[in-house]
Structure 1
């Protein structure tokens, strides 16, 4: 039995944040083969329920699926998002969220980023995606996200929070919140696996593999589908695809499903 931890954004989605149906089908095959599947993402549970889970086969039993959203503030099992638990300790105050929202409404961000109303614990903006293949718009949204992160840094710092820039968005979150929290919760719930496979597209995703190592597990592989240099950690094997986003994930998953 192997254990899989998947980031979602940039791993199971394309460059315009659209979930990849073929990548989902490959994960379904892993589940059919008896492996433990988990998602550890910064996305909200509402986004997962609206965009990812509808792609799942209804004839499969997903009750053992481990899900962590909003970097670890929300945890649960299965695809019934109403049964997942929000940890109030990690919720950013409404007062801070209002300040962050007001910054997101600046004219310079019009058409490039928007406030994410689905987030429960954090203040988030996400990119407004253009047409597939529109690299000019993609580059503009990425710059807007970086500019917004700079704009809100003082709000985050002065309120005791931190800013996290991801593939498609910027989150202002509790200073102690990271995917380590979600990975630790899952590892404490499952039986000791023979192998651990982590899929990520940012350096911050490596923390899931490191958490597995610190949990006493071995035979850990981090699968990198991000842009730029792949991250490395002691006693963790890193493999990468030449393709980013879900195309890279599918490349790397082929050997896992025997095709």
Structure 2
């Protein structure tokens, strides 16, 4: 039996953060083969419920799907997000969120970034996505995200939090929060299963922590599938495989090799 850990943003979505129906279908094929599936993402549970889960085949049993939202602050199984648990220890204070929100509303960020009101534990802004193929707008949003991250660094540090910049957004989160927490929780939950292989899909260097955590927990035969831009991160005793395309196109390219009859 294989164990799969998927990031969501940039892995199951395209460059405009739209979930890719064909990529989801390949994930379904993995599920049908009886492997253990998990999502470990910075996205909120509300976003997953409204944008990703509606693409799932309702005839399949998703009760065993492991889900970690907001980098590990929220954990649960299945697609009923009301059953997932928020760890209050990882919630950023409301006054800090308010200060971050005020920065996001500065005029230079108009039509480029927006506040994510669905996040429960962190303060997040997301890129305002343009039309598919609008490379100029895409570059402008990426620049705005970097500028926003620079502008709020003092707020983040002085409140004892940390700033995480991703493909589509900027999160201010508890300093101890990372996808390592989510990976550790899932691996503990499946400790009685016989895992022969581990496959991790990610598009940022921070996603490698999922594979590293599997290595630390003594799982074997670990492969990190890189669908990000640039060179894949490298780690001892973890095989890295890169796609020729980025985002969900890269995921489909690599995942088709897992589901091909």
Q: Is this a same-fold pair by TM over 0.5?
A: yes
Aligned equivalent of 2:163: 163
Root mean square deviation, CA, Å: 0.5
Aligned equivalent of 2:43: 43
- Structure 1: how far apart are the matches of 2:231 and 2:256? 22
Superposition map of 1:182-201 within 5 A: 182-190=182-190, 191-201=193-203
- SS of the residue 2:152 aligns to: helix
- Structure 1: how far apart are the matches of 2:92 and 2:39? 23
CA shift, 1:89, in A, is: 0.1
Aligned equivalent of 2:236: 234
CA shift, 1:125, in A, is: 0.1
5+ residue gaps in structure 1? none
- Structure 2: how far apart are the matches of 1:50 and 1:258? 29
- Structure 2: how far apart are the matches of 1:91 and 1:225? 30
- Structure 1: how far apart are the matches of 2:31 and 2:219? 21
| Aligned equivalent of 2:216, options 202, 214, 217 | 214
- Structure 2: how far apart are the matches of 1:47 and 1:252? 25
Deviation track 1:13-52 (CA, whole Å, cap 9, x = no partner) reads 0000000000000000110110000000000000000000
Moved segments of 4+, more than 6 Å? none
- Structure 2: how far apart are the matches of 1:192 and 1:129? 42
Aligned equivalent of 2:67: 67
- Structure 1: how far apart are the matches of 2:120 and 2:224? 29
- Structure 2: how far apart are the matches of 1:158 and 1:192? 45
CA shift, 1:192, in A, is: 3.7
Deviation track 1:49-104 (CA, whole Å, cap 9, x = no partner) reads 00000000000000000000000000000000000000000000000000000000
- Structure 2: how far apart are the matches of 1:119 and 1:215? 29
TM-score (normalizing by structure 1)? 0.99
Aligned equivalent of 2:114: 114
- Structure 2: how far apart are the matches of 1:228 and 1:165? 16
5+ residue gaps in structure 2? none
- SS of the residue 1:9 aligns to: coil
- SS of the residue 1:223 aligns to: strand
Aligned equivalent of 1:30: 30
Deviation track 1:223-254 (CA, whole Å, cap 9, x = no partner) reads 00000111000000000001000000000011
Aligned equivalent of 1:98: 98
- Structure 2: how far apart are the matches of 1:245 and 1:32? 23
- SS of the residue 1:230 aligns to: coil
